[in-house]
Structure 1
Amino acid sequence: MGAIRIGAVAAHFGRDLEFGMQRITTLIDHARGSGASLLVLPDAALGGYLADLRHPDPEALPPALGQDSRYLKEIAALAAEMVVCVGYCEEADGDRYNAAVCVTGDGVLGRHRKVHQPPGELAAYAAGSEFAAFDTPVGRIGMLIDYDKTFPESARSLALDGAEIVACLSAWPTSITNRAPRMAQDRQSRLFDLYDQARAAENQVVLVSSNQTGAMGGMRFLGQAKVVGPGGDILARTWSKAGIAIAEVDVTEEVTKARRVLHHLGERKPDAYRRTT
């Protein structure tokens, strides 16, 4: 396939779906103008994230959308030849999920429901139950949402399912319990970068990490969108500001090169890990 351009978005999204669509339209246009073939938008880009993670107000939750929502269809149409991943609140069978969908102009390529939930989310969302990779025009992709990437098994499951690109969609805030005077000193800021680089390096995949910026209620989001290579090196990043981190990567070549001498997936010893399952 050769080299492709990959974009990871840092941007603010609130409850207003129409305003969110305007922002998504602009971001897709800018990414297309930069030659991007893959664009990863943040978690909760449609409808915003929770305003309070410890005690979510049941009357102020993000709007829930069905899998056939017109907004998702509009994003697919906007994507056209591009592959676009976007996060939203999904309604299904009376439950709400923190969800992500990956689309092109031809329709849905893959879906994910957030599996791992911090305690406050239990009052707002049901949990997903699996990690699965899927084929796209830019290669095989798997998706994670927020807290999913804290757990090594999440990205490892996707890599074992053949994903060479892992899209991590986040609405990741600064520390709620121990706020630092500067974002660079914030514990969650350091962990966000650490998890991105570790998940890429341990699985030898390209990781595309998006995140929200700005604030929602008492939550202040980090930004720090980035594209990470299979050696754990950051290829492009936005730091804490809004924008699109764009990196040009030959995914198959870089993954193959990373695995040529030390092939982490092939050198595993599953019989020694039985107690982890």
Structure 2
Amino acid sequence: MEQIVYVDGAFVPAADAKVSVFDRGFLFADGIYEVSAVLDGKLIDNDSHLARLERSVGEIALALPETLPRIVEIQKELIARNGLIDGVIYLQVTRGAVIPRDFVFPKEAKPTFVMFTTAKDIVNAASAKTGIAVKTMPDIRWARRDIKSVALLAQVLAKQAAAEAGCQEAWMIEDGQVTEGGSSSAFILTQDDVLVTRENSSAILPGCTRKAVMKLAEERQLRVEERAFSVSEALAAKEAFITSASLFVQAVVTIDGQRIANGRPGPMTNRLREIYLEFARATAV
């Protein structure tokens, strides 16, 4: 089946999809992206992702080319056209293409809007059973990490270094504290059974899966604390895990080659993954 992508109002074969070389997303990373999970052909927690999209474009004075209800219609049609059962749907909006190249926002630019799907078995991922290894890296990103910008070079370099070290994720470190993963939110479970994750601010992206997991935990009277934590605190924790739209909840079992607890996914992480999957399936649209 040939993959179909969405480009500026048209559904086209991937091989025929084109964006101008003068597009500001390509030239300046002047754009925003979002990723929503798909299970059983349905969108997971999509309202949260679209709300974050709307906030991010607002922070850089970029107008969405479609209304949110219309974006949902496009997402669903793209899922259907690709026969996607499980995976993710990616969308990106940039400030568009204008000649000549100039740093200042062009008044006549029309936003570029693209979407595509990727098949992925999130539920049965092997790493959900084994846990993942993390490598720590200095957080060299810009100061507005709360904006889901397409400017991801720092994350690319961090995740490449992690991959070369045999790890599946990088944890970004600033002032001795963990900010977040290269493409995920970071959590630990302390020895006194408190779930800890960094508080939302311009230092991290406000994770949609993070938000849902925290709410689900609090509804079950689990103690949740939003604050920074260090790598040494993570290594001394009962459990550690990450959350993201493309992974849901996954255990972290080593950091820089050092085991956390017994080096296997812990019962709290496994239970939170189960709870999130129940939530995802119950609220899918």
Q: Same fold (TM over 0.5)?
A: no
Larger RCO, structure (CA 8 Å, separation 6 or more)? 1
Q: Larger C-alpha radius of gyration, 1 or 2?
A: 2
Q: TM-score, normalised by structure 2?
A: 0.28
Q: What TM-score, normalized by structure 1, do the two folds share?
A: 0.28
